[in-house]
Homo-oligomer: A and B are copies of this chain.
């Protein structure tokens, strides 16, 4: 038995999210079909992060177990020839049998792309959140560290999960005109967490909420306090560390 770790990128606008579902294209479903075809075994794929519909991945990590003897270096090419070009296998690695893409992960990082210009771009409609009004980046930088550290992020989740404590190691903003780029790294994320944080930070840039306001949302530990959410198509799963 071998345990294979793959690093993959995908365009989330082509899929109904990562996790397999009946009758709709999902990243997991398409990967499992391709792996089953290559190995002639029933392959089950484990993903590090279950990205939602529309969310992209630059370096998603998955693993699967197989008895197939296919040489490691042939796996990316064999898969890429079967996969649609909205999914790319960038790397394959043989790992110990106890490696689990999701549970072994020590940290995950995401990038969120905001596009600020006088009018939206047809080329970015699936790849960045378009905002017409320019937020005050200084105001965002004034409050951004409020999210750092280990906290109960219930208020920043979309649905019930198994535990709501997460530790944010790093959160940063880069201006790359006409883009505002958010980077956020944590031991893990609740469902919708990055998008709710980005929404609140853009609101801070518009002067709609300040540090006290954000702190009271965090401390309330209650879902549904945040009006709106940044759309999924600006979000990119960037890196998983083990």
Contacts and interface: CB of A to CB of B under 8 A. Distances in A.
Interface of A: 9-11, 56, 76, 80, 85-88, 90, 119-123, 125, 127
Contact of A88 (B10, B76, B86, B119): B119
10 contacts: A11-B125, A56-B123, A76-B119, A80-B119, A85-B122, A86-B125, A88-B120, A88-B121, A90-B119, A123-B127
Nearest to A12: B122
The copy count of this chain in the complex is 2
Given A9-B121, A87-B122, 11 more contacts: A10-B122, A11-B123, A76-B119, A80-B119, A85-B120, A85-B122, A85-B125, A88-B119, A88-B120, A88-B122, A123-B127
A76, A88, A122: most-surrounded residue (chain B CB, <10 A): A122
Nearest to A10: B122
Contacts of A119: 76, 80, 88, 90
A171 B238 CA distance: 37
A87 B121 CA distance: 8
Contacts of A56: 123
Contacts of A9: 121-123
A121 B87 CA distance: 8
A86 B120 CA distance: 10
A11 to B, nearest CB: 4
A82 to B, nearest CB: 14
Contacts of A120: 85, 88
Nearest to A127: B123
Contacts of A87: 122
Nearest to A56: B123
Nearest to A90: B119
A61 to B, nearest CB: 16
A149 B164 CA distance: 67
A142 B56 CA distance: 40
A85 B137 CA distance: 27
A86 B126 CA distance: 10
